[in-house]
Amino acid sequence: MLLEIFFLVVFVFPTAYAFWIGAPILLTPKESIRRAFRYCQIEKGKIFYDLGSGTGRSLIIASKEFGLNATGFELSPILFIISKINLFFSGAKAKVKIKNFYQVDLKEADIVFCFLTPEVMKKLMPKFEKELKTGAKIVSYAFKISQWESIKIINTDNPGKIFIYENIQKN
């Protein structure tokens, strides 16, 4: 009984909470990630953040294929562990942190990747405007930021589109 309670408290509740706050447990197709990165024409060594990084697939692609300094933020302990394992076996030099992305300081990011619900994107908009440097890119898979104009919409072979934004706010 104690083991079941431990499992619920440590793994199930945080994972359910992550889903509840708007980070669905869905995998972004790898080719969609690649297409977004190619469009953004990101230089090697730039800072990449994935908000709700799941299993780490965007971190692996960002690090290994595009030479980005990639960090993911994941609230679910289960997905965090899976991500750590995937990063280890892939040899990617990316990092993943178990942290609520609302509490992440975005000022260093050159590109931010999201697969989050429209409600969460709307809540993140003031954070993006306040913290992201001018010119930073926001890549949103499947959901757009309703009040922002995207600089590019990429149709995919999979359900969903990729919306790319650029922060034009003066900090």
Whether 125 is in a domain gets the answer: yes
- Let me know if residue 71 belongs to a domain: yes
Residue 4, pLDDT > 70, answer no
Residue 89 three-state SS: helix
Q: At 130, which CATH number?
A: 3.40.50.150
171 inside domain: no
Strand order in the sheet with 95-98: 95-98, 69-74, 47-51, 111-114, 137-141, 161-166, 152-155
pLDDT digits (tens, 9 = 90+) for 87-137: 999 999 999 999 989 999 999 999 999 988 888 888 899 999 999 999 999
Which of residues 95 and 11 earns the better pLDDT score?
95
- Looking at the DSSP bridge assignments, the partners of residue 71 are 49, 95
Residue 74 lies in domain: 2-166
Q: Do the Cβ atoms of 106 and 47 come closer than 8 Å?
A: no
> Which position has the token pair 């600089």?
151
Residues 6+ apart with CB under 8 A from 157: 29, 31
Q: What are the strands, taking DSSP E only, across 10-142?
A: 47-51, 69-74, 95-98, 111-114, 137-141
Q: How many domains does the chain contain in total?
A: 1
Per residue in 68-85, pLDDT (tens digit) is 999 999 988 888 999 999
C-alpha to C-alpha distances, 55 to 26, 35, 78, 129, 166, nearest whole angstrom: 9, 19, 9, 27, 26
